[in-house]
C-alpha cells in the first residue's frame, strides 16, 4: 500500500474514549499501510474550516489509551449553521473542502455524535472521503447498539448514586440525582438500574408528578427511610410534554429553576414530600479515564476504521451491532436519534423490579 494521508477531528461534546479510538485508528493504519501521514484538526470542524491542524506521529498516540478528553481539542459547530457563512462571510463548507484538498487527504475520520455525523454525511455527499466513528455519552446515535463514552458515563453516574445511597439512608431523605441526557434517557436508565434507584425519570416517558409522589409515599409506608430518584436533565412532566413546540421552547429559554432536578424538588415539596436534596454530577460524567468496556469498544471501532481506510471503503459510520463491528452508510444514521422505547424489554424489566417511571 502506498502513502495514506488521513485527517482526524473530534467534534461536539468530549467524552472519555476519544483518545483511545484515535489510537485504535492510527495503530491499525501503521500496521496496514506502508506510509501514513496523520493531520489532526484542532477543535473539531473549526480546525477544518480555518485550516488549523498539526501533523501527528505515532508518539502522539502513545500512552493515550487511558487518557480522557481529546488531544485534538473539540468544539460544537451546530449542523444547522454549517451552510451559513461565518461573521466574515466565509463559506464554511467550501472552506472545509478546500482545506481537505489542499492537504491532499485520502480520508477524513470524524469522531463525533449526532450533529457531527450529520456534517460528516454532508461532506461525504460533497465528494470527500469520510469515515465516522460513533462518539457520545448519550448512546443516542442511530444505527449502533453502543457508542463509546456511554459506558464510562454510566459508571460515573452510578458511582454518584452509590455515594448518595449511604448519605440518604443515614439521614432518611429523598435524593434527586440529575443525570446527563437532554433528549434521551439511556444514561439515566442504566445508572438508575445499576444504582438501585426507586424512581427513574427520562425524556421518553413524561411523568405525572402525582404518580411520583405516590411511589415515594408507598416507600415510606413500607418503612423505607429514604428514596433515590435518578432524573435525566431532559425529563419532562406530562403537562409540559403536551405543550406546543413554541411554548415548550419558551419554558426552556426562561427556566424558573437552575435545572430539572431543582424544578422537580420544588414540585415534590409543594406536594408534601419533605426533606429533598439534589445532587448534580454534571460534567464529571464526561471526564476521567475511559472504563475498560469503552477501551475495548474504542480499540475495535478504531481497528475497523483503519481496515476500511486501507480498503478505500468510505462514506460510512463504523457501528456495533449484535456485538460485531460493522459499518453503515453515513446517510442512514445522519439526523436520526436512538431513543429509549417506552415499550422496550429493559423498561419492562425495570418496572418488574419495582422502579417507577412516574407514568
| SS3 of residue 244 by DSSP | coil
* Strands 174-179 and 199-201, bridge-based pairing: unpaired
Using one digit for the tens of pLDDT, what is the confidence trace for 166-201?
999 899 889 999 999 999 999 999 999 999 999 999
Q: What is the pLDDT of residue 249?
A: 84
Within 273-312, strands assigned E span: 276-279
Return the domain boundaries, the chain: 3-148+290-333, 152-287
Same fold, 3-148+290-333 and 152-287: yes
Active site residues: 138
Within 96-167, strands assigned E span: 107-112, 130-134
CATH of 3-148+290-333, one of 3.40.630.10, 3.40.50.450, 3.40.50.300, 3.30.70.141: 3.40.50.450
List, for the chain, all residue ranges whose pLDDT scores fall below the cut of 50: none
Cα–Cα distance measured from residue 239 to residue 248, given in angstroms and rounded to the nearest whole number: 10
Q: What is the pLDDT of residue 2?
A: 66
CATH of the domain spanning 152-287: 3.40.50.460
Residue 38, beta-bridge partner list:
6, 56
Between the CA atoms of 123, 128, 129 and 134, what dihedral angle is there, to the nearest 10 degrees? Answer: -10
Amino acid at each position: 500500500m502506498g502513502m495514506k494521508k488521513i485527517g482526524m477531528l473530534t467534534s461536539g461534546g468530549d467524552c472519555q474514549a476519544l483518545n483511545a479510538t484515535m489510537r485504535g485508528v492510527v495503530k491499525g493504519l501503521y500496521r496496514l499501510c506502508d506510509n501514513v501521514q496523520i493531520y489532526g484538526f484542532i477543535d473539531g470542524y473549526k480546525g477544518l474550516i480555518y485550516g488549523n491542524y498539526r501533523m501527528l506521529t505515532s508518539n502522539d498516540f502513545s500512552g493515550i489509551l487511558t487518557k480522557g478528553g481529546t488531544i485534538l481539542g473539540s468544539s460544537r459547530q451546530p449542523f444547522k449553521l454549517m451552510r451559513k457563512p461565518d461573521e466574515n462571510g466565509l463559506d464554511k463548507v467550501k472552506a472545509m473542502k478546500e482545506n481537505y484538498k489542499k492537504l491532499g487527504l485520502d480520508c477524513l475520520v470524524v469522531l463525533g455524535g449526532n450533529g457531527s455525523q450529520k456534517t460528516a454525511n454532508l461532506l461525504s455527499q460533497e465528494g470527500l472521503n469520510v469515515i465516522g466513528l460513533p462518539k457520545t455519552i448519550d448512546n443516542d446515535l442511530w444505527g449502533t447498539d453502543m457508542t463509546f463514552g456511554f459506558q464510562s458515563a454510566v459508571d460515573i453516574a452510578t458511582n454518584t448514586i452509590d455515594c448518595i445511597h449511604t448519605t440518604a439512608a443515614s439521614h432518611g431523605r429523598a435524593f434527586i440525582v440529575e443525570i446527563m441526557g437532554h433528549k434521551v434517557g439511556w444514561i439515566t436508565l442504566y445508572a438508575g438500574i445499576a444504582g438501585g434507584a426507586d424512581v427513574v425519570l427520562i425524556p421518553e416517558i413524561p411523568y405525572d408528578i402525582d404518580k411520583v409522589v405516590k411511589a415515594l409515599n408507598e416507600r415510606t409506608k413500607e418503612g423505607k427511610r429514604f428514596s433515590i430518584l435518578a432524573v435525566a436533565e431532559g425529563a419532562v412532566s406530562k403537562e409540559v410534554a403536551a405543550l406546543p413546540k413554541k411554548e415548550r421552547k419558551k419554558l426552556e429559554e426562561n427556566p424558573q429553576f437552575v435545572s430539572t432536578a431543582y424544578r422537580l424538588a420544588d414540585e415534590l415539596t409543594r406536594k408534601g414530600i419533605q426533606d429533598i436534596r439534589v445532587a448534580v454530577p454534571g460534567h464529571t460524567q464526561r471526564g476521567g479515564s475511559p472504563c475498560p468496556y469503552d477501551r475495548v469498544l474504542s480499540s475495535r471501532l478504531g481497528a475497523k476504521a483503519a481496515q476500511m481506510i486501507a480498503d478505500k471503503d468510505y462514506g460510512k459510520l463504523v457501528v456495533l451491532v449484535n456485538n460485531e463491528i460493522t459499518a453503515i452508510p453515513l446517510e442512514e444514521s445522519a439526523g436520526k436519534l436512538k431513543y429509549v422505547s417506552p415499550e422496550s424489554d429493559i423498561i419492562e424489566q425495570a418496572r418488574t423490579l419495582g422502579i417507577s417511571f412516574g407514568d
